[in-house]
Amino acid sequence: MANSFYFTPYGGAEATLYIAGTTTDKFFLGEVGWGMPEDVIIVDEVPDAEADIDRGVVIKPRLYAVSFRLNAASASALETLRDTWLGNHDPLAGIGVLKRITSGGKTRYLDCRPRATVFTPLSRLADGYCQVLTQTYFAATPWWRSAAQTATGNLNAAVTIANSGLETGGTGDNFNGGTEADDGTSDNFTSWTETNDDGAGNKCEATATAQAGSYACKLTYGAGEAAIQSANLTVVAGQGYTLTFYARGDASKAGQYSIYDVTHGADVVAKKTTGVTAGAFAAVTETFTAPAGCTSIYVKFYSPSSAGYAIFDAVSMTASTILISCANGGDRPSWPVITITGVVNTPKIQNAAGDYVQIAATTANADDVLVINHRPGSVGVTYYEHGAGAGANWYGYRSSASEFWKLPVGTANVTVSATSGTCACALSWYPYYRSL
């Protein structure tokens, strides 16, 4: 629907002002102030004219005005038109939203406050009455925008690893109720692939010596290394991950592990020792970044590199640094609102240019909400315990490279990380434009 105007007063419902080809009681006369807003050059005055420094440019607020001729069959009907218009344009009501659909079909919005409406004197026509009004809107943020865009991601969300506890396999899918475990015979683990598991003393064996659950995987070196490999795991290129598993040795030898990029056929983490030789389980953690273009990896565990054995159990992986794809389709950088829900310690959100916002504080509950607002006029950090109440100002916990943290023009990834915690992160932003 082209060449149309709508206005939503602060706290009110959207009102239709004019629709070309449909509205009969108003005639569109024209508009001004739709183009690039004016700028002001800021210059330091110094005694030496040759040392003048052009400090930069600031953009003035936008004044956008539109004119209509009101048409009515009687003076009282015209008064009703005026009253309806004024009811939707109270200058003291606050900031509303003007929606403009252009003749070319573009839908644009302007966050603005209406100024007092100016009317010309009433005119008598042969078939009724008419009056011209001019409505001016004041926009402190002078850019036209499109509708809100959103993108989400989950920090430290688990990557699915089939049979991550190494609990199932063998005849009956449970190692025959334990009769096969610790019997010195090689076993098969559901969703894992055994390597060099043979009769020469190299074994992938189910053992009841488990860190969690009923079973773990015991890898024994005989004439060579025995190994067990996970099914392929789906990852996002450029995203950070943390692999955690439990390992123990035979009191003198440690097992080994690696992470492999299936997409490119190369190691992400080359085979390395767990560092755990003791006969007691210890957690092993490996943090890595999925290479560019990589969408699939696997994890592999190995016996010691010489005679001995190692045991592995309780494998997990989380997305410790996530990328949220944000498409800013406007022609100006955008100021987003970031909403974090969950338990998180020192969250950091960084754009593709390296600019970031970081909150040096910790939320405590799974339903806590942290809102980081960068839009001009409403910049702030608000914490809502259990997602309710008026919210507490956490602005003092903020440490950033910029007060007005922005999304650059185009499609880029926003990187979200934290010292610890699991949370959902949502970004909301408007694509902004210089003009209609």
Per-residue pLDDT for 316 more than 90?
A: yes
Per-residue pLDDT for 210 more than 90?
A: yes
- Break the chain into its structural domains and give their ranges: 4-142, 171-320, 329-433
Answer for the pair 405, 379: CB distance below 8 angstroms, yes or no: no
State residue 331's pLDDT score.
Answer: 94
Q: Say which CATH architecture domain 4-142 belongs to.
A: Beta Barrel (2.40)
pLDDT band with cut points at 50, 70 and 90 for residue 384: very high
- What φ, ψ does residue 139 adopt, rounded to 5°? -120, 105
State residue 54's pLDDT score.
Answer: 55
Answer for the pair 130, 75: CB distance below 8 angstroms, yes or no: no
Answer for the pair 343, 423: CB distance below 8 angstroms, yes or no: yes
Per-residue pLDDT for 49 more than 60?
A: no
State residue 170's pLDDT score.
Answer: 72
Count H helices, E strands: the chain? 1, 34
- What φ, ψ does residue 140 adopt, rounded to 5°? -65, -40
CA dist., res. 417 & res. 155, Å (int): 7
pLDDT band with cut points at 50, 70 and 90 for residue 238: very high
Tokens linked to 238: 């450029």
Q: Count Cβ neighbours within 10 Å for each residue of 419-435 and write b for 16 or more, e otherwise.
A: eebbbebbbbbbbbbee
- What φ, ψ does residue 397 adopt, rounded to 5°? -85, -5
State residue 193's pLDDT score.
Answer: 95
Answer for the pair 207, 303: CB distance below 8 angstroms, yes or no: no
Hey, what CATH topology would domain 171-320 get? Jelly Rolls (2.60.120)
CA dist., res. 356 & res. 404, Å (int): 10
pLDDT tens profile 363-378? 999 999 999 998 887 8
